[in-house]
Structure 1
Amino acid sequence: MNSKTVLITGASRGIGKAIALRFAKEGFRIAITCKNSKSELLRTKAEIESMGSPCLAYVGDMGSYPAVKELFSLITKTFGSVHILVNNAGISHIGLFTETDPTVWNTIINSNLTSVYNCCHQTVPDMVRAKSGKIINISSVWGVCGASCEVAYSASKGGMNAFTKALAKELAPSNIQVNAIACGAIDTSMNSFLSKADKESLTEEIPANRLGKAEEVAELTWQLAAGNDYLNGQVIALDGAWI
């Protein structure tokens, strides 16, 4: 059993679940969260525990600072400090900018960017004291180049990328690494709105000639968590050479 604890937000399904299972394979103590999908989160928890890893599941909005404080209080009581933080919680939205009202904008920014601030703000002090830690932010290629009809989503992920680079510079003297994975088109439920024809058209745009897999994001996340301490402040594209 690994003595370290990893927190993965937004882990009821898709990329977050795949990441949680990858760390369970290594015997980590695991904390997972979701905002709404309690039944799916509990199924993920059961799957993690069946692999021999202890798991804490928390249902709450990572965009809410009080909720995140409550989460970290539970983690501290159950496992102690968080050694690896994976900020994966987030939502997508497609629509014209002129039809993106303030409620939609604020919801996306809170879910995708403020959540990263909240979780980092809670875990960084312990990492600084320990002079050790890894923070991995699950971002998007649209945070690098932007996407038409996804202005709010692109802005939130662009903010995450800048946050990653800035925080890495601040924490590097404390031997803490902060990196981001800019995902391309990954075959998850977030893309379930696409028709078969849309998926085929999208696949034709990607030089790798396929969508990515959640397990591939999970493997890269694990490599960043377990690997080179000199790799820091990077936004790494995982997109099949798409962008």
Structure 2
Amino acid sequence: MDRETAVITGGSRGIGRAVALKLAERGCDTVINYAGNKEKAEETAALCREYGVSAVTVQGDIARKEDCERILQAALENFDHIDILVNNAGITRDNIIMRMSDEEFDAVIDTNLRGTYHMMKLVSRPMMKQRYGRIVSLASVVGLMGNSGQINYAASKAGVIGMTKSLARELASRNVTVNAVAPGFIETDMTAVLTEAAAGIMRGMIPQGRPGTPEEVAAAVCFLAGREAGYITGQVLCVDGGMCM
């Protein structure tokens, strides 16, 4: 294989965009999945191409199995092989448990947990067949330490960690590694909606005293997605400024 191919779910902006650009900088062709913002996805693809690689965009809601299948099919049709999967797509529907609706709980579980499961399952066969692959999923420190008002999000990310460790055991003998990165408080669109008071509380929980950047998370993801990380599997790397020590 002359060049590796990476599939990034939720790759149009934020951490997903930073990961796509970092992988493109390393010479990977990229498949950028997006749920609804085609303009941002095409913008990310254009930025990736500036590194001399190929980049395609694929619309799809990973909460839907048929959309996951279409994403995989598009990747194989364009590049013949998939070497790296980054499960980045995720949503929040925050509320305290007494006010949380079943729809809010289910939406987060369907996207963050079930969607990641579908993508893991779909890439496992081709990666096992080629006897090489890197799967990196975005978990969260919330999945390790919990957070008030995010019982659905915490459950989904804790589940991602459990799936990561289980799949790592299943695929290790085929030279396919499976790891997770658990970001802390990162400056993204998802955290931009926090009030200044809430953001201040979050910063107070971080020993380094500042939020992280998408690029700092992307550096960790791309390390685990690289060939040099071939003896690391089933691990969770926190990128959180010491928040979850």
- What is the TM-score with the length of structure 1 in the denominator? 0.96
Alignment partners' CA distance in 1, 2:161 and 2:52 = 34
Task: Tell me the secondary structure at the aligned position of residue 160 of structure 1.
Answer: helix
Structure 2 residue 24 is matched with structure 1 residue 24 = yes
Alignment partners' CA distance in 1, 2:20 and 2:111 = 19
Counterpart contact for 1:184–1:238, Cα < 8 Å: yes
Alignment partners' CA distance in 2, 1:194 and 1:124 = 37
Task: Tell me the secondary structure at the aligned position of residue 31 of structure 2.
Answer: strand
Structure 2 residue 59 is matched with structure 1 residue 59 = yes
Alignment partners' CA distance in 2, 1:162 and 1:238 = 18
Counterpart amino acid of residue 80 in structure 1: D
Aligned residue in 2 for 1:238: 239
- What is the TM-score with the length of structure 2 in the denominator? 0.96
Deviation at 1:51, TM superposition (A): 2.3
Counterpart amino acid of residue 207 in structure 1: P
Counterpart amino acid of residue 34 in structure 2: C
Alignment partners' CA distance in 2, 1:68 and 1:198 = 35
Structure 2 residue 48 is matched with structure 1 residue 70 = no
Regions of 4+ moved over 3 Å: none
Task: Tell me the secondary structure at the aligned position of residue 207 of structure 1.
Answer: coil
Task: Tell me the secondary structure at the aligned position of residue 86 of structure 1.
Answer: strand
Counterpart amino acid of residue 238 in structure 1: V
Q: Which runs of 5 or more residues in structure 1 are unaligned?
A: none
Aligned residue in 2 for 1:205: 205
Counterpart contact for 1:137–1:181, Cα < 8 Å: yes
Counterpart amino acid of residue 239 in structure 1: D
1:40-189 → structure 2 map (5 Å cutoff): 40-189=40-189
Counterpart amino acid of residue 47 in structure 2: E
Deviation at 1:124, TM superposition (A): 0.6
Counterpart amino acid of residue 220 in structure 1: A
Deviation at 1:2, TM superposition (A): 5.5
Alignment partners' CA distance in 2, 1:73 and 1:79 = 10
Alignment partners' CA distance in 2, 1:160 and 1:5 = 23
Alignment partners' CA distance in 2, 1:149 and 1:82 = 37
Deviation at 1:127, TM superposition (A): 0.7
Counterpart contact for 1:164–1:179, Cα < 8 Å: yes
Counterpart contact for 2:93–2:105, Cα < 8 Å: no
Give the total of aligned pairs. 243
Q: Which runs of 5 or more residues in structure 2 are unaligned?
A: none
Aligned residue in 2 for 1:220: 220
Alignment partners' CA distance in 2, 1:98 and 1:80 = 48
Counterpart contact for 2:20–2:30, Cα < 8 Å: yes
Deviation at 1:50, TM superposition (A): 2.3
Task: Tell me the secondary structure at the aligned position of residue 98 of structure 2.
Answer: helix
In structure 2, do the counterparts of structure 1 residues 242 and 2 end up closer, same or farther at CA, with 3 Å as the change threshold? farther
Deviation at 1:18, TM superposition (A): 0.2
Counterpart amino acid of residue 192 in structure 2: S
Counterpart amino acid of residue 230 in structure 1: Y
Deviation at 1:144, TM superposition (A): 0.9
Task: Tell me the secondary structure at the aligned position of residue 229 of structure 2.
Answer: coil
Task: Tell me the secondary structure at the aligned position of residue 220 of structure 1.
Answer: helix
